[in-house]
Amino acid sequence: MTDKSKIWTGSLNEKALAGRPKRSAGFYDTTLRDGEQAVGVVFGVEQKLEIAKLIDGLGVGRIEAGFPRVSDEDKEAIKAISSAGLKAEIWGFARAIIEDVAAVADLGLKHLVIEAPISDAKLGALQVARETVLQRVRDAVAFGARSGLTVAFFGVDSTRADLDFFETAYKTALDAGAKELAIVDTLGIACPEAVEFLVRRVKSWAGDVPIHFHGHNDFGLATACAIAAINAGAAWIHGTIDGVGERAGNANLPEIALTLELLYGVETGIDLTKVREASLRLRQVASYELEPWKAVVGRNLFVRETGAVAAQFHIPQAIEPYSSELLNTPRGIVLGKKSGAASIAIKCKELGIEAPAGIQARLLAEVKRLAIAKRRLVSDAEFADLVRQVS
């Protein structure tokens, strides 16, 4: 449970949310399948197993281990993950093709997402008629159900589908034996209000069937849309670590978890203290970088250069919305063009440097001069040299 004394967000959210039902949220991680679709990312068997263990350690409830018909290597990875004794449910992925479903069943998995395109734009591009795709859904879902699999139907590009055909496709899947339904914002085009509208609409005719939301970040709204889905009654949110994925990426599960926990008071079961470590390792394996100001995992979140802010560094709740302890990461001061007198004093104390108050103003001037000349921060070693020069 999150320590509320370490959350400094004020009372506005509480007042705005007063009287609304308290929701719950399940997390379905697709880093190993949809995340690997990011340009240039290729995970080997051992890497997939390592990533699955990292994800499991975060407390994610479901892990999509992969799409076995992609390659023999993917099959081997799924075998390794499913036999690793993880706490999370292990899910497979298949198109609405019986052979795809059989490949998942043959690996001994018990849970499966079956996808099929349902927007006219996708069907037209694939030159597939509506009735054809409905028949494929009937056959594949029924085969999965007969094989003892828990099937979630995943309507590709469902946020751009004709609403009547959307309903027909999902009801066809339910009639064939699907137990859960995934609403899919394939191109990230839905605003949060549209996601809420669609989730509520599905719940109005699907009853107690668990609803998933799978979102992408093309308009930078994936987290907001995921929150809207939960508020509308969705049970499961799909996403990846860091939001890794093709184009602008997938919904970012750790970002969503932090938002739900700290702003909405929803217990997610995610261990926030392990998120930054998992993000760092995934970046090393997948060879990508993130902007330093990235929410949750950015390296600059708890680092301060500006002098006016450094002057308040000893009162973290004045300059940060939540404690760095929630993410198990340190705070720090760096020196540069924007530093102030407090920055010099804090850095001297941090490095164990004796610098009389009388020389700190000169030190600050030298720090600014060097930072402007070099067009960058001043390193600790450079600062120590400045102290020796000025003293």
Per-residue pLDDT tens over the stretch 293-314: 999 999 999 999 999 999 999 9
Residue 374: per-residue pLDDT: 96
Q: Tell me what the pLDDT averaged over the chain comes to.
A: 96
Q: Please give the Cα distance from 138 to 156 (Å, whole number).
A: 16
pLDDT tens readout for residues 250-276? 999 999 999 999 999 999 999 999 999
Of the candidates 34, 23, 97, 14, the residue with the CA atom closest to the CA atom of residue 268? 23
Which CA distances in Å does 216 have to 120, 197, 198, 236, 253? 19, 17, 16, 15, 12
Other beta carbons less than 10 A from residue 132's beta carbon: 12
Q: Please give the Cα distance from 379 to 335 (Å, whole number).
A: 7
- In order of their start, the domains of the chain are 4-286 (3.20.20.70), 303-390 (no CATH)
Q: Please give the Cα distance from 217 to 265 (Å, whole number).
A: 24
Contact 23, 263 (CB under 8 A): no
Cross-strand partners of 250: 216
pLDDT bin (cut points 50, 70, 90) of residue 22 is confident
Q: Please give the Cα distance from 88 to 59 (Å, whole number).
A: 8
Greater confidence (92 vs 360) lies with 92
pLDDT bin (cut points 50, 70, 90) of residue 391 is confident
**Distance in angstroms between the alpha carbons of the first and the last residue of the chain:** 50
pTM: 0.93
Contact 341, 368 (CB under 8 A): no
pLDDT tens readout for residues 364-376? 999 999 999 999 9
pLDDT tens readout for residues 142-198? 999 999 999 999 999 999 999 999 999 999 999 999 999 999 999 999 999 999 999
